[in-house]
Amino acid sequence: MGLDKAEAIRQLNSRGSVSHQEALVKKIEGVKTIKPIKRIIPGGKDLASVAIEDMPMAVYTWLRACAHFTEGTISLCSSPNDVKTKRTRVVDFDTNTKNTEWEVRGKRWLADRIVDILKTKNILAVEIKRDGLYSLVQTKGKFDPTSENWEPYVELVPFRPPTF
């Protein structure tokens, strides 16, 4: 609990009378973090045998697991943090709009951009952020379906509007 009642009332610029007590309680409790939805991609070991022209539809299906999301990761590695990687922003998004780029242009458009990144050699993961798409590429060694930590998964952080 990071905030006490007196400080919350002061921040709400109230003179001691709280007009919306529920809002005060939510402010004192703080913002609850939303847990990401993580799904293992079925048939992940055989993902390399999927034809490249079928990949956009597969990625689009993975993105549809969550109707609205704020960010996400499509990873081919079970734990990309354990491997030495290079993180690069590949696609820039317009952050001046109210909605995210994939809400404006659609998830099919996003799936096409992600597939273009997944074609990169030694790619471990693609991160979807509000400001762009980032690629995580293994810097040393080789990463492919024969690697020991090859386990594709999709992790999306759902958007849940605040309610009072």
CB 134 within 8 A of CB 120: no
**Distance between CA atoms of residues 156 and 74, nearest Å:** 9
CB atoms < 10 A from the CB of 88, how many? 13
Q: What is the reported pTM?
A: 0.75
User: At residue 83, what is the residue type?
Assistant: V
Convert the pLDDT of each residue in 46-105 to its tens digit.
787 788 888 999 999 999 988 889 999 999 988 887 888 899 999 999 888 888 899 999
For residue 155, what are the β-bridge partners? 38, 73
> CB under 8 Å, gap of 24 or more: what pairs does 119-122 form?
119/52
